[in-house]
Structure formats: structure tokens, C-alpha cells
Structure 1
Amino acid sequence: MSITKSNLFLTIVLSLFISSSHADENYDGHGHEHESQIFHALWFEAQHGGGSEGDKSHIEWDGWIGGDYHKLWLKGELEGHKGKLEQSEVWALYSRNVHDFWDAQLGLRVDTQPESTRYLTLGFNGLAPYLFETQAHLFISDYGDVSARLKQKNHLLFTQRFGFEPYYQLDFTAQNVERQELGRGLSEGEIGFKLFYEITRKVVPYLDLKYERKFGRTASIARNADESEEDWIASIGIKLLF
């Protein structure tokens, strides 16, 4: 089953590359010249703090390489609790510009914690009205489970260096996933903000405060296991741009 899905994934990605290459032949010479330029960017964040459930750490990276229309997008997240790695995920995505400020994305997400699982991933990354940076993705695991995630944030400057970044994340599942202790529907969410100071555009320390909560059957599973269904977490962190 896993081999079949992997072959399907590779076939879809290859088809997109071929169709996109043919589509680009319709661009004028100036478009070809601009697209032939290769750019890259990489953001790295590390933060540490705590809440009612003890100390927590979070590491995240998000980067891409490519041109205006085609990019290879790589990103990942690590989360630790009381010195133990609790969540680990790495993404590799082909990103294709489909509209001003919007890319369609297709690729693979690999989790190693809390269990080893691969996900066929498709979605969109772009800039919504009022300058909200948006990531919306659908996942199909190698077990056949379907889930989705929506993330938005906004970068607001009070002065040339000091600013405020509100954000939220919502996770959904299409069915109960007992092995991951997830219930169908809206399963988990978080909302928070960062107060940051740009020492330079590439070095940004910040304070982070967020509220995490489980919902529905996911919350019931947590209560039955004598685990908290919500938490406030305060952290300090730094963001680096390479």
C-alpha cells in the first residue's frame, strides 16, 4: 500500500513539472529571462518557555529555492516537552505560482514523532487580504487518514524595528485516529502573538504568548488520560533569516 501511494505521489509531481514546463513556453522572452534567475530564502526559529504542563521548546525552519513560478519548498518543526522530543515533521513541496501572491503546493510530509507517518500533501501558500500570510494544506497519510491544517499570521510594525505578530493555527481530521489520540472534526488549535524587535532584518528576538486547546473528542481523549486539554505558554525566541 505504501509503495503504491509513493509511486502515485511521484507520478503526480512529475506530471506537474512536465505540464508546467510546457505552460512556461507561452511566456515572452522577458519572462524566460526573469524565471531563469534562481533565488533562495531560509528562516530559522528557536524558542523556549513553559506553561502549566512544564517547559516546552520549539524549533522551526522554512525555506525555498527557485524562481518566480517554480520553487522547491522545504520546512520542518520540532517540539519538545520536559526535554523529550514530542513532535517532529519535515516537509518537501513543489510550489507553483498560480496567482499574484499565491502558490499551489504538492509534496510529502514525513513525521517521526509521535509516530512514523508519511503524508501526501497538497495546498496553498500565499497572502490573504489585510496581508495575512496564509498556509492551508490537506494531508493523506499512508494509513489513508485525511486531515487538514490552516495557519495565518500578520507582521505589524509599530516603529521601524519594534512590532507585533498575531497568529493562529487550526488542525482538522476527517475521521477518528485512535493511534494518534485524535477525534474527528476540529481537533486542536492555538492562537497567540509575538512581540519582536528587529536588531537587523536578519536577526529578530521576540517574546511569544499563546493559548493551546484540544477540541471535541480529542479533548475527551485527553481528559480520560488525565492530560490537560488546554494550556497557556510563554516563551522567548529568536528568528534568523539566511
Structure 2
Amino acid sequence: MNRLAVALAPLILAASAFSAQAQDPHAGHTMPPPRTQQATPAPAPHAGHQSPAPAAAQDPHAGHVTPPPQTPPVSDPHAGHQASAQPATVDPHAGHDMPTPSAAQADPHAGHDMSAMSAAQADPHAGHDMSTMSMGPPDVPTSADNAGRPPEEPLPAAALGGPAHAADLVFGAEAMAAARQTVVRENGDIRTTAVIIDRLEAGFGDEDETWLWDLQGWTGGDINRFWWKSEGESDFDGGLEEAELQALYSRAVTPFWDVQAGVRQDFRPDGEDPTHLVLGLQGLAPYWWEVDAAAFLSTEGDLTARVEAEYDQRITQRLILQPRLEIDASASDTPELEIGSGLSSVEAGLRLRYEFRKEFAPYVGVEWSRSFGDTANYIEARGGEAQDTRFVVGLKAWF
């Protein structure tokens, strides 16, 4: 029996080793490359070893030097794989032969160098050239830009074959013509009339006290008007010194300027009452200067000119300071009118008025006058002064 047991022991141990290998193929062995499984069992790895008592059949590895326990495959599925030198903590898949990921699984940032990103890249427009971008509204196409828009049909011939005013067929052409004239007159061709008292004042100088008037008015529409102008001066102690009256046709040539033409009649105490042809320009100059310039040709052939300019400087809504300038000139000497050639005289004044109403504004001021050349000589020859300064009180009104 002992010989039989000794003879069967190698077979029993081989079977036990084969069974244990099937349960833990990696235990304590260095894994060779995989090979094709053969039909016959591998030779017993423990053949020739001294076997212990039969109890060793329960532990086929008894007496072997056992290496440290390995992590079970379920804990580390990658044990035994050839890995790169990079630690698993940095890239747990290092050393694996990874297939190319599909488009759905691809990381859009894989392989990008993200180290140079700065805070400015958080702005989606960072680095864009926006200098040519327009800040206005977008050019949104409309139905007029639609190439498939149906074409517009031309007007039928019957639409243009009738009268210019269809109402003429109902009410009659004569009645509708009168109605249209009324509409034009009431909406742009209105006839109006105005009277303007520009200066009605008394002046107090060193030697005399005088009073004067400067009036004008007009009637008509926006384009064509009839203007009249009158001004004169007299002493409080004596009679009329001089006066004039103008009758003018005025036509608007621009929104701010009228050309005026007509006649002027002078009235003088010495009986010299010349008549003049008048050609002038009146309107609003830049910086709101009101200008009235005219040239006069008398029946005696004397040519004179006058320019008046004034400006309203508002201090408050009611208090207004008005500088005023008047210049007279003559092309020839006229001794009977005490006018010399060249620059005859200059008047400069400053008036401060208070508008109780737009139509009623009293004022006070000062005015300086000076005659030049032969005009000054004529005035001094009759005992007058070529230069004068006066304090004035007056009224400006219109209705």
C-alpha cells in the first residue's frame, strides 16, 4: 500500500496544482506572454518536490515561498499591462492603446495648449478688429429689396384722362376755382397790415431840445407788399426842421430780404421840397441786425444814400438794450440842403426799453451825432454845431 500511495502521489499533486491554477492563475507566478491553450494539461509544476502528509492536498502551495499578495483583478483591471513611466495618478490610462475617440466622445480641447490663456480671453470679442463696425442701426432688408416682389402696374390711362380736379365734374370748374383761391389765400397768401412806431422821442442836448418821429408800415402778403415810411425832426421852440415821406413797392427776394422801390418826398421850411426816386434793400442781416439801406436820386440829379442798422440785445424777457447806427453819404455837394459830398453824417445811439407788452415799450437812452466835411461847414456857417450829444426819452410801439 505504501508503494501504491507513493506512486499515485505525483498524479494527485498534479491534479491539485492544475485545479489551483485554474482558480488563481497569477498567484506568485511571473506572467509569460499568453499562448494558445493546448489540449493536454501542462506538466505538473511541482513534480519531484517532496510532498508532505496527505493534508497537503488541501493546500497545494504549502512550503512554497509566497510573494506579497497581489491586488485582485477586480480591484485593478489594468494589473500586468505594460504602462509608461508616467504615474497613474496623473493619467490613469497611460500606456493603454486607446482607439481614436469618435466625434461624439472627442474632447474639443484635447491637445490644446491652454497655458497661455489670460483673463482677456474671457471676452469673446478680445483680439477682434472692431474699428470698422458701424454703431448705427443694422441695415435690415425691407420688402422693397425683395427680388421676388410683384411688379407694380402702371396707372391706367383712364386715371389721367379726366380733369385735373375731379370735383369740377360735380360742382363745376368755376365754383371750384373760386374755392381753391380761397384756400390759397387763407393758407399762405393772407393780406395783413401793420403800423410800426420805431422811434417817437424827445431829445435834450446842450443848446436845444428837439423831438422826432420815425414811422413805417406795410400792407400785403408774404411776397408783395406796399410799404410807407416817414420821419422828421422839429424843435420844441420852433417849427418843422425837415420831414420826408416814402411810398414803396416791396418784394421778397429771399426769406429775410426785401427789395424796395418807389418815391420819396421831402418837406422843408425853406420851401425846397425835392422829390427822389428810391431803390433800397431791407431785411435781417446775420447776427440779427435789422438793416434798412437805400439810395435816393432827386429830380435835381443829386444822389444820396442812407444806411440804418439796429440790434435788440435782450437782457431779460422784457428789458432790451438796442444799439443803433445811421450813416448818410452824398455823391455831390448840395448847398441848399446843407449836404456835402462824401460821408455826410453819422448817428450812434444806445436805447434801453422795457416792454410792458410787445406792442408798447417806452425807452431811455443817449445818442451821439457828428457831421463831416462840407456838411459840417454848412451847419457851422448857419451857427449850428457839427457834433452833438443828447439824452433821449421815447416810445416804441406797433399795431
Q: TM-score, normalised by structure 2?
A: 0.52
CA shift, 1:226, in A, is: 2.9
Aligned to 1:40: 193
Higher mean alpha-carbon deviation, 84-93 vs 195-204, is at 84-93
Matched AA of 2:289: F
Would you say the 8 A contact 1:188–1:215 is kept in 2? yes
Aligned to 2:10: none
Aligned to 1:79: 233
Aligned to 2:256: 101
Matched AA of 2:252: N
In 1, Cα distance between the equivalents of 2:393 and 2:274? 30
Question: Alignment partner for residue 336 of structure 2, among 166, 179, 191?
Answer: 179
CA shift, 1:142, in A, is: 1.1
Q: Does 1:66 align with 2:220?
A: yes
Q: 1:106 to 1:200 in 2, by over 3 A?
A: same
In 2, Cα distance between the equivalents of 1:147 and 1:186? 10
Would you say the 8 A contact 2:201–2:213 is kept in 1? yes
Higher mean alpha-carbon deviation, 160-169 vs 107-116, is at 107-116
Q: Does 1:164 align with 2:317?
A: no
Which of structures 1 and 2 has the bigger CA Rg?
2
For residue 176 of structure 1, give the secondary structure of its aligned residue in structure 2.
coil
CA shift, 1:87, in A, is: 1.2
Q: TM-score, normalised by structure 1?
A: 0.84
Matched AA of 2:240: L
Deviations 1:90-109 (A, max 9, x none): 11110000012000000111
Unaligned 5+ residue runs, structure 1?
Answer: 1-28
CA shift, 1:225, in A, is: 3.0
Q: 1:234 to 1:69 in 2, by over 3 A?
A: same
For residue 258 of structure 2, give the secondary structure of its aligned residue in structure 1.
strand
Aligned to 1:90: 245
Matched AA of 1:95: S
CA shift, 1:223, in A, is: 2.6
Percent identity over the alignment is 35
| More strand per residue | 1
Higher mean alpha-carbon deviation, 220-229 vs 66-75, is at 220-229
CA shift, 1:208, in A, is: 2.4
Would you say the 8 A contact 1:35–1:69 is kept in 2? no
CA shift, 1:110, in A, is: 0.7
Higher relative contact order (Cα pairs below 8 Å, separated by 6+ residues): 1
The aligned runs of 1:205-220 (5 Å cut-off) are 205-220=362-377
For residue 196 of structure 2, give the secondary structure of its aligned residue in structure 1.
strand
For residue 140 of structure 1, give the secondary structure of its aligned residue in structure 2.
strand
Q: Does 1:202 align with 2:353?
A: no
Matched AA of 2:193: H
Would you say the 8 A contact 2:189–2:222 is kept in 1? no
In 2, Cα distance between the equivalents of 1:202 and 1:82? 27
In 1, Cα distance between the equivalents of 2:184 and 2:281? 23
Deviations 1:86-140 (A, max 9, x none): 0111111100000120000001111112531111000100011110000110000
Deviations 1:65-105 (A, max 9, x none): 11110000011012112432101111111000001200000
In 1, Cα distance between the equivalents of 2:357 and 2:248? 29
For residue 159 of structure 1, give the secondary structure of its aligned residue in structure 2.
coil
Matched AA of 1:166: P
For residue 175 of structure 1, give the secondary structure of its aligned residue in structure 2.
coil
CA shift, 1:221, in A, is: 2.3
The aligned runs of 1:128-139 (5 Å cut-off) are 128-139=285-296
Q: 1:34 to 1:173 in 2, by over 3 A?
A: farther
Aligned to 2:280: 123
Q: How many residues align?
A: 214
Question: Alignment partner for residue 393 of structure 2, among 225, 236, 239?
Answer: 236
In 1, Cα distance between the equivalents of 2:217 and 2:350? 22
In 1, Cα distance between the equivalents of 2:325 and 2:305? 14
